[in-house]
Amino acid sequence: MSTDSLPAGDRFAFWKETIRTWDQFSRLEYVPPRAPVFHGSLEYADLEGLRLCKLKIGGLSVNRPQPQAWENYRHALNVVFQVKGHSQFEQCGRRVVLAPGEWSISDTRFSSRVVFAPDGVEQMLLMVPAAYLRGVQLRDTFSARSFSYRKGLGKLIYQFLHTTFAQLRHLSPQSERSVAETIHQLLTYSLLELLGDTPSTSVGDALHLRARAYIVQRLRDPSLNIAQIAEALHCSKRYLHFVFANSGSTIEELIWKLRLDGCKYDLQDPNLAGRSITEIAFSWGFNSYPHFSRKFRTEFGASPRSFHAGAAKGA
């Protein structure tokens, strides 16, 4: 959704009426813009119950009223990464000004207010369902605090969300589940660490998350291998093997599993019925058709041709 193509005088009304048709924004109260010309755009993508958004907006205040006891909000937590500009957030009697490179968390169970700077703000948002927060006891004192995402787990989450948003349309449902699981793990570790409820993430756990994120981002690269991952993460191949062995699967098993899931999804897609099996396999990082065919048959108990024939028939 964007106001860019509308006359300046119509933009705010269009924004207010359109965005209220979405459940998670339906009860928000929008204060008229302070900027001479209002502008706003919002892109979003859904991922296994999560919602990722890119917001560009300027000169606007937004109030979130206290939910009623009977209301059941789908998203219980909003994670905000400030990319450009400044915004002021208020909740539970506290106030924080977010600057580029900072992130914050708001709890939708409490009323809040956000003020976007007139010269424009860009944010990346992650809306998280309550089910993702099992094991994390949020306190109201956690709201209206800022943290840096230029280092540590905050940086890893932001980079992973940024890449995921750009690549989401190319992921198979199986890969989406793996990506959502990685986001869940990254967010849980970060929250527990910031809350101080548990010791900081162990070196092994952190490395496993970083490696998993690296693999998902570069899954279609045929040169992806353990040596490349180890070099990128500044660790030895031996230690990387050790970390994944403790998680129940090897790195190679994870790479092949995700690639095969992607191939299966594309082979069953009627929109891709015109592409050859070899093209699809190679687009997912395979560089040998016999090797791909053997792996596929072992994983799914049937030849890739049988899946492709079904897709062609349905096209």
Residue 150 counted as domain residue: yes
Tell me, what CATH number does 75's domain have? 2.60.120.10
Residue 244 counted as domain residue: no
Label residue 200 exposed, middle or buried (CB < 10 Å: 0-12, 13-18, 19+): middle
pLDDT at position 68 is: 59
Q: What b/e string do you get for 38-53 counting C-beta neighbours within 10 Å, with b at 16 or more?
A: bbbebeeeebeebbbb
Q: How far apart are CA 121 and CA 86, in angstroms?
A: 6
The DSSP output letter for 246 is H
- For the four alpha carbons of 129, 135, 136 and 137, in that order, the dihedral sign comes to positive
pLDDT at position 228 is: 92
Residue 112 counted as domain residue: yes
Domain of 145?
8-201
Residue 24 counted as domain residue: yes
What pTM was estimated for this model as a whole?
Answer: 0.68
Contacts of 271 (CB under 8 A, 6+ apart): 315
Number of domains in the chain: 1
Q: How far apart are CA 238 and CA 98, in angstroms?
A: 41
Residue 247 counted as domain residue: no
| One pLDDT digit (tens) per residue for the chain, 315 residues | 999 899 988 988 898 888 888 766 777 888 876 666 788 999 988 888 888 999 999 888 899 887 655 455 555 788 999 999 999 999 888 899 999 999 998 888 788 999 998 888 999 999 888 667 665 666 666 677 888 888 877 888 888 888 888 888 777 777 788 788 888 878 877 776 676 654 445 667 777 877 887 888 788 899 999 999 999 888 888 888 888 887 778 899 989 988 998 898 888 888 888 899 999 999 999 999 999 999 999 999 999 998 886 655 554
Cβ atoms within 10 A of the Cβ of 301, count?
8
Residue 11 is encoded by which pair of tokens? 């933009």
pLDDT at position 114 is: 93
Q: How far apart are CA 300 and CA 257, in angstroms?
A: 11
Residue 168: closest CA among 46, 279, 290: 46
pLDDT at position 202 is: 60
Residue 258 counted as domain residue: no
